[in-house]
Amino acid sequence: MTRTGRGDEGQATVELALVLPLVAVLLLVALQVGLVLRDHVLVGHAAREAVRAAAVAEDDRTGAATRAAERAGPLASDDLHLRVVEVEGGEAVRVELDYESSTDVPLVGTLLPDVRLSASATMRVETGPRRG
C-alpha cells in the first residue's frame, strides 16, 4: 500500500458537509414550487366547478358558485375570493377566482412571498323547462 502523505482521508466528509445544506435547500425549493403548482391546478378546477354550479343555479348564483369552489379541492376557503359576473346579456355567467397560495415550507417559505393565483371560467346559463 502506497501512501501519498497528503492527508486527504477526510476530504469527502468535508465536501459532503459543505454541499449538503445547499442540496437540502434546493430540495425544499422544489417542494415549494410543486405545492404552488398544485394550488394552480386546484384553482383552475375550482373555477370550473364554480361556474358549472352558477350556470345551473336558478336563484343564488354566487352562493352556489362559492359552495362549489370550496368543495372542489383542498384549498383554504379563507384565502379563496370569488366573483360571479353575468355576461352576454345574462346568457352566460363567468366566475373569477383569486387564491393566495401560502409559501410555508420550512426555511424556504419565509424567504419567498405568498403567490397570488387566479383563474376564470365562462359557461352558458342553463335554463330548465318552465313550469306553470
Does 5 reside within a domain? Answer: no
Burial of 62-78, coded b for 16+ CB within 10 Å and e otherwise, reads eebbbebbbebeebeee
Does 39 reside within a domain? Answer: yes
Does 4 reside within a domain? Answer: no
Does 114 reside within a domain? Answer: yes
Q: What is the CATH number of the domain that holds 105?
A: 3.30.1300
Does 115 reside within a domain? Answer: yes
Span 9-36, pLDDT tens digits: 788 889 889 999 999 999 999 999 999 9
| pLDDT for the residue 55 | 94
| pLDDT for the residue 70 | 93
Span 48-80, pLDDT tens digits: 999 999 999 988 999 999 999 999 999 998 999
**C-alpha cell at position 21:** 445544506
Does 116 reside within a domain? Answer: yes
What is the domain extent for residue 38? 12-124
* Tally of structural domains, the chain: 1
Does 130 reside within a domain? Answer: no
Give pTM, 2 decimals. Answer: 0.80
